[in-house]
Amino acid sequence: MSEKKSDLVIVYHRQPYEEVVEDGVLVRRENKSPNGIVPTLKSFFGHVDQGSWIAWKEASDPSQPDFERVVEISDAYGDYRVARLALSPEQVRSFYHVTSKEALWPVLHAFRERYNYDPVDWPTFREVNYAFAQAAAQEASDDATIWVHDYNLWLVPEYLRQMKPNAKIGFYHHTPFPGPDIFNVLPWRREIVSSLLKCDVVGFHIARYAQNFAAVCESLVEIDAVERAHVDNVDDELRGALSELKTPVALTYEGRRVRVVATPVGIDVGFVEDRAEQAETSELENRIEEELGGKRLLLSVSRTDYTKGGVELLNAYERLLERRPELHGKVRLLLVSVAASNGMAVYEQVQQELEGLAGRINARHAQFDWQPVHLMSTPIPFHELAAFYRQADVCWITPLADGLNLVAKEFVASRTDGGGALVLSEFAGVSVELPHAVLCNPFSTRSMDHAIDQALDMPEEERRQRMKEMRSVVSNHTIGDWADDLRTAIAQPKLHSLSFDDKKIA
């Protein structure tokens, strides 16, 4: 493969493949995640002559000469290079498990009480971000497009702008972005914002996060102007907790115009629909239906994380069984809460709470032939998950805070039969796209109780009409549309001053 510099560099914490050992041999195979982010990012390489992907890999001794720093890939997406940073176990712990997960993650999700500053080693966070930037700069041509993904790489744009002043730099947040009262808890707030303002494009899932970003910037630095536009297709009757009527589209700072994009990640609808209708899935559906024996299935799928609201959901389910004894023996909750594998105490505590609550519910309400709740803590292969989506009477997704939530979209896409009801938290970013779900406030027991009652008691005609509306939304903004939005934004000419056009200047 040619050693020429890359026209496109993607900087993402995950490698674009799965590494597994088969018969003692390391094998790299295509990532099978149904949400499609990794393959979609790889598809960007089809638009350039040369592309590179920057990721990290833990190495017991990063100085060892046998560490494979560059992996040459040739697959359906083209020829590209994966430049890998060798991070020591201590660097991984400090950069990812401590700073990213104990300090930044809780603030992004507005859990100030869980923010932990004491163990943070900010110099190591800078060091790792600098290493990412350096690796990207080494791969990139002088005018390359460089896309950086997610909050644990917040400082990369600052360093990249110094190394590659003519590059087009984009940054996309896959998490929520809070307002100034929350974000400014971070002692490094100015450093983070200064770095993001070195980008040409900063992206978010929804307008609320973009508005919060603009407000944070205005609270910390002298923003010359904020350019805003109206958000399309906002129905006053369907507006939820995260809805916005306007969104910032550009900020002007120190003579530079930084574009702001609000475009939610989509899913590969074709993949989900095809998998949902495969014979293998149908066979599993039949087995699930037989096992349920006429019981109604409530399904919830998430990671084990305090932001995901699993504890609150189990409490709501327990209240449901206590309020409505006529449902005993007639419903079953399958809670898939995939346990964290990194041994972080905060997630282990949540896991213990979930196990304790599930055990209590079963102990109080189980009958000889009925277990009210089944808790699964290991990942489910997608073809199996699709079968559960298809059999679920209600998909119950009620995070306390979530940047988007692709499970809700997967559930909708899998329901080619037009059935099923979706109960969705107003504080999941996807609720802005799916206002026809049964929306609820997970901080209110009354709202949670009303939502699950509404979903269970909903007339068939209404349920199908709501699903029809949601399927239209999910089908009309896929993962490919998200990718096109990003490509369009970054492809616009670089502007160094604000053009005062017909958009409102606030």
CA-wise closest residue to 83 among 73, 92, 95:
73
Q: Note the pLDDT of residue 33.
A: 57
Rounding to the nearest 10 degrees, give the CA dihedral for residues 267, 270, 272, 274. -170
Q: Note the pLDDT of residue 29.
A: 72
Residue 124 domain-assigned (yes or no): yes
Q: Note the pLDDT of residue 504.
A: 35
Q: Is 501 helix (H, G, I), strand (E, B) or coil?
A: coil
Burial 427-453 (b: 16+ CB within 10 A, else e): bbbbbbbbbbbbbbbbeeeebbbebbe
In this structure, the answer to whether residues 235 and 325 fall within a common structural domain is: no
pLDDT interval class at 234 (50, 70, 90): confident
Mean of pLDDT values over 167-190: 98
Residue 502 domain-assigned (yes or no): no
In this structure, the answer to whether residues 258 and 390 fall within a common structural domain is: no
pLDDT interval class at 166 (50, 70, 90): very high
Residue 499 domain-assigned (yes or no): no
Q: Note the pLDDT of residue 423.
A: 99
**Domain total for the chain?**
2
In this structure, the answer to whether residues 24 and 169 fall within a common structural domain is: yes
Residue 501 domain-assigned (yes or no): no
**Looking at per-residue confidence, does 318 or 27 come out higher?**
318
**Looking at per-residue confidence, does 382 or 355 come out higher?**
355
Mean of pLDDT values over 470-478: 97
pLDDT above 90: residue 495: no
pTM: 0.93
Q: Note the pLDDT of residue 34.
A: 52
In this structure, the answer to whether residues 79 and 17 fall within a common structural domain is: yes
Q: What percent of the chain has pLDDT over 70?
A: 95
Residue 129 domain-assigned (yes or no): yes
pLDDT above 90: residue 145: yes
Mean of pLDDT values over 33-45: 72
Mean of pLDDT values over 347-359: 96
Residue 361 domain-assigned (yes or no): yes
In this structure, the answer to whether residues 146 and 249 fall within a common structural domain is: yes
Q: Note the pLDDT of residue 100.
A: 95
Residue 398 domain-assigned (yes or no): yes
Q: Are 336 and 300 in contact (CB under 8 A)?
A: yes
In this structure, the answer to whether residues 322 and 419 fall within a common structural domain is: yes
Q: Note the pLDDT of residue 12.
A: 92
Q: Note the pLDDT of residue 293.
A: 95
In this structure, the answer to whether residues 316 and 454 fall within a common structural domain is: yes
User: What integer best gives the mean pLDDT of the chain?
Assistant: 92
The predicted-structure confidence for 108-118, as pLDDT tens digits, reads as follows: 999 999 999 99
* Range of the structural domain that residue 98 is part of: 6-266+483-491
Q: Note the pLDDT of residue 343.
A: 65
Mean of pLDDT values over 434-447: 98
In this structure, the answer to whether residues 180 and 292 fall within a common structural domain is: no
In this structure, the answer to whether residues 213 and 310 fall within a common structural domain is: no
Question: By mean pLDDT, which of 235-249, 314-328, 411-425, 439-453 is the weakest?
Answer: 235-249
Residue 497 domain-assigned (yes or no): no
- Position of tokens 């606030």? 506
In this structure, the answer to whether residues 38 and 172 fall within a common structural domain is: yes
Q: Note the pLDDT of residue 396.
A: 99
Question: Residue 69: in which H helix or E strand, if any?
Answer: none
Q: Note the pLDDT of residue 48.
A: 78
Q: Note the pLDDT of residue 458.
A: 98
In this structure, the answer to whether residues 386 and 468 fall within a common structural domain is: yes
pLDDT interval class at 93 (50, 70, 90): very high
Mean of pLDDT values over 454-462: 98
- Dump the DSSP string for 277-325: TSHHHHHHHHHHHHHHTTPEEEEEEEES-GGGTHHHHHHHHHHHHHH-G
Question: Residue 326: in which H helix or E strand, if any?
Answer: none
Query: Domain holding 164: CATH number?
Result: 3.40.50.2000
pLDDT interval class at 218 (50, 70, 90): very high
Q: Note the pLDDT of residue 35.
A: 55
Question: By mean pLDDT, which of 76-80, 128-132, 319-323 is the weakest?
Answer: 76-80
Q: How far is CA 285 from CA 378, 396, 501, in A?
A: 20, 19, 55
In this structure, the answer to whether residues 277 and 245 fall within a common structural domain is: no
Q: Note the pLDDT of residue 76.
A: 75
